[in-house]
Amino acid sequence: MRCRSCNSSNTKVTVTEHKVNETWRYCRCLDCKARYKTIEKYAKPKPKISLRSKKTQFKQGEINPSSVLTEANVIELRKLAMEGKTYVEIAKEFGIHRDTVYRIATRKLWSHV
């Protein structure tokens, strides 16, 4: 990018702001210290990706190939947690980390079960 004042190629983009269908770039010339802004408009609008479509791409539960637990294990794990067994004891029984037990018991993981 060339400076608009002195036509130097010694410029630097200081800030970039992404808007809905355009990008604003704030630039500075390192030779003459001039500052200017460029606006780039997109010919086609950006595709809108919803968070729900991203979330459904992943396999949930026991159909996920890296899953250690089954839905029956999760139900049993929650039952043990409600009975007052510690997360460490439950984790050793199922061969998972205690934080994972906490997240399953509080329905932050496996919330669909």
Q: What is the DSSP string of 73-95?
A: HHHHHHHHHHTT--HHHHHHHHT
Count of structural domains, the chain = 2
37 falls within a domain: yes
67 lies in the same domain as 98: yes
Helix axes of 98-105 and 71-82: crossing angle, nearest 10 degrees:
90
Residue range 17-42, pLDDT digits in tens: 988 888 999 999 999 989 989 888 88
Domain assignment present for 79: yes
Shared-domain flag, residues 37 and 62: no
> Tell me: the pLDDT tens digits for 47-62?
666 665 555 567 788 8
Average pLDDT of every residue of the chain: 87
User: Which one is predicted more confidently, 67 or 78?
Assistant: 78
State the residue range of the domain holding 78. Answer: 58-105
Range list of β-strands (E), the chain: 11-18, 22-29, 35-41
Residues 64 and 101 grouped into a single domain: yes
63 and 94 co-located in one domain: yes
